[in-house]
Structure 1
Amino acid sequence: MTAPPSGLARLVDGFDDVTVRDLAWLLFAPDLLREGDIALARPLATDAERDATLAWLRALDAAPQLLHDHARNPKFTRLGIYAESLVRYFLAHGPAARLVAANVPLRRQRRTIGECDFLLEAANGARLHWELAVKFYLHIGDGDASRAARLSDYVGPNLQDRFDLKHARLVTHQLALTTRAEFAALGFEGPWRAQLFIKGRLFYHGVEGEGTEPAPEVGDDHLRGWWLTASEWREARAKAPGDERAWVVQPRMAWLASRRLDAAAAATLVAESDAIRTRLEGTAAPTMIAAYARDDAGDWTEESRGFIVPDGWPEAARAFAASAG
């Protein structure tokens, strides 16, 4: 199964606090899309900003309470809101760009027509408008490995979102907000350059989660995972007797950076592995899991991430993807 990029894994694993790890992941993980028609945000535009930010994160890791007070709000029950709070903290307190405003609503006749995620001033004086998107899609495709994927082949696990729909919304609406008359009326001195801050992971069918040619809009270095149906998961496990990996069900708020697994927790998970696998075989909804393996030093590190989906999910996902026309 696919291991996370070693450079990102080593960087994130350098921080002990889970909230700091999530912030570091947002800043350093590769973009889901490639640079093209959409301009991508560069939170660390220079080597000096990168070095200063790493030093700032190390200090924050040693004393993370202010970050916790800001981001660990019990009202933040959606992953996107949590991620937004982390980026806002970085812009307000970090050593790179300066936050001008966040969550700026645009209204027409008392009706909200949009909201700018972040307005900021870069170190070089550029005025930037960032829209943040953190997305996790499963590639469904049509079984034809000879063609590149389309953005419509990437669907949300609950089949309520699709990459092509999100892409169109970003281009035609969200990134255009600072060009509207309603924004000009707010008095923020510009001009403003719109950029997309997009992170996440794309999951491909199969035990290895590799081999599928991605959609042309997708970034070359995007994070990958795998997905299997419950029946395929059962068959894969039957072919791997004596598997000593620890399997963890990832709650949605833990979908960003890899987590630490101490020896006691790993031992418990390994001991309960049969029960965990049986429960996943009967899953009623797509479930993200992570595999942890023990390294030569005896530490447990994340090896891969994937989704286990119900056996009927692929058919429904293909229908959802095909509705793009």
Structure 2
Amino acid sequence: MNEITSFHDPAVRNLAWLLFSPDLLSVSRAGAPLARPAATESEGAATLVWLDALDRDPAALHAQVHKPSLTRLGFYAEALLEYFLMRGPHARLIAANIPLRTAERTLGEVDFLLENVRGERLHWELAVKFYLHIGEGEGAATLAHYVGPNLQDRFDLKHARLLNHQLGLSARDEFASLGFEGPWRAELFVKGRLFYRDDGHDYRSRASNLPPELAGDHLRGWWKTASEWRDSKADGLFASLPRLGWMAERTLSAQEGDALVEQTAMLSERVATLSSPIMVARYERYDGYDRATGNVWREHSRGFIVPDEWPARAADFAG
């Protein structure tokens, strides 16, 4: 992940995370081809060079993604990826967010149409998801055991909609009538992080009983109830993360690190009356001081703190 955290600008770092972080879904068991924004070693190298230049002058990226309307994480991620496809080194954006309608109703919206350097015409459906695993370990887990923190989304339902509805939009007769000449190769672009209950075992290495659809190297985090977090946090230093900060990890400068004690105290007060899950990062000082930026704190882990009653409600939601 060093190719992600080395960038200083938050928007550039989030774009690098979209392009280079592990997929949530397995290449062989996802049910559809997976998008490859940097499909070869040379494309990956060219992308990193391009991102490095963008990091030095991110004004054009900021103009596209720092808009009042982009308050939802999914819209923000789409804006980042659209910028890459418009300005990046090896793809040509043909269209983005194309609504497909009939006289009676809206059928859906195609996220991205593009042509890569090999001349392949691709349809990408983007999803950036953060699910908590709920289940007590008997038998193999399924995607239904992964639920959104606010219990309004579930991985199996999202996966099924992507496969059975979204990816098929570009192959419909109604879509051909819009003038986008195909055929289009439909691919899944699914990134995010999955969070496992912190029960004293190493959640990062959890590999048994995983659904076959999941990539073995998917990003992992932990979750605890408010009571569990209060009992275990000890002298740890934490900061809550705004929703648009859920993607890329970051390091903190010495000045930012000085505020962690106060942020942890504020977080403790918030958790005392917690009504909905919050994502937090735990930070620790590290030896690799960066003279250029003054970064001396690194992110140790990501997690969700949930209300004490949340696990029971989540178990019902998981079915």
Superposed CA deviations along residues 121-157 of structure 1, whole A, max 9, x for unmatched, are 011111100000000000001x12x522110000000
Instruction: Report the equivalent of 2:23.
Output: 31
Instruction: Report the equivalent of 2:225.
Output: 229
**Which has the larger displacement, 173-182 or 200-209?**
200-209
Contact 1:116 1:131 in 2 (8 A): yes
Instruction: Report the equivalent of 2:60.
Output: 66
Instruction: Report the equivalent of 1:3.
Output: none
Q: Which has the higher contact order (CA 8 A, sep 6+)?
A: 1
Counterpart code for 1:77: T
Separation in 2, partners of 1:196, 1:295: 37
Separation in 1, partners of 2:223, 2:133: 9
Separation in 2, partners of 1:272, 1:152: 34
Separation in 2, partners of 1:57, 1:152: 36
Separation in 2, partners of 1:254, 1:213: 30
TM-superposed deviation, 1:264: 1.8
Instruction: Report the equivalent of 1:132.
Output: 126
Instruction: Report the equivalent of 2:301.
Output: 304
Separation in 1, partners of 2:116, 2:288: 42
Counterpart code for 1:269: L
Instruction: Report the equivalent of 2:111.
Output: 117
Instruction: Report the equivalent of 1:249.
Output: 240
Match of 2:70 among 76, 86, 92: 76
Match of 1:209 among 203, 206, 213: 203
Instruction: Report the equivalent of 2:41.
Output: 47
Residue 155 (structure 2) pairs with residue 159 (structure 1)? no
TM-superposed deviation, 1:87: 0.4
Residue 284 (structure 2) pairs with residue 293 (structure 1)? yes
Q: Secondary structure at the match of 1:296?
A: strand
Percent sequence identity is 56
Q: Which sections of structure 1, spanning at least 5 residues, go unmatched?
A: 1-7
TM-superposed deviation, 1:278: 3.8
Instruction: Report the equivalent of 2:293.
Output: none
Match of 1:100 among 81, 94, 100: 94
TM-superposed deviation, 1:271: 4.5
Residue 139 (structure 2) pairs with residue 147 (structure 1)? yes
Instruction: Report the equivalent of 1:4.
Output: none
TM normalised by structure 2 equals: 0.93
Contact 1:158 1:286 in 2 (8 A): yes
Instruction: Report the equivalent of 1:262.
Output: 253
Contact 1:76 1:82 in 2 (8 A): yes
TM-superposed deviation, 1:275: 4.1
Contact 2:238 2:263 in 1 (8 A): no
Counterpart code for 1:223: L
TM normalised by structure 1 equals: 0.91
Separation in 1, partners of 2:272, 2:129: 25
Q: Secondary structure at the match of 1:165?
A: helix
Separation in 2, partners of 1:110, 1:303: 51
**Which has the larger displacement, 196-205 or 184-193?**
184-193
TM-superposed deviation, 1:272: 5.0
Superposed CA deviations along residues 67-92 of structure 1, whole A, max 9, x for unmatched, are 00011111101000000000000000
Match of 2:84 among 83, 90, 97: 90
Aligned length: 307
Contact 2:131 2:149 in 1 (8 A): yes
TM-superposed deviation, 1:260: 3.2
Separation in 2, partners of 1:275, 1:72: 27
Counterpart code for 1:18: P
Separation in 1, partners of 2:48, 2:3: 9
Q: Secondary structure at the match of 2:256?
A: helix
TM-superposed deviation, 1:273: 2.9
Contact 1:233 1:281 in 2 (8 A): no
Superposed CA deviations along residues 196-218 of structure 1, whole A, max 9, x for unmatched, are 00000000001543436321111
TM-superposed deviation, 1:111: 2.6
**Which has the larger displacement, 260-269 or 118-127?**
260-269
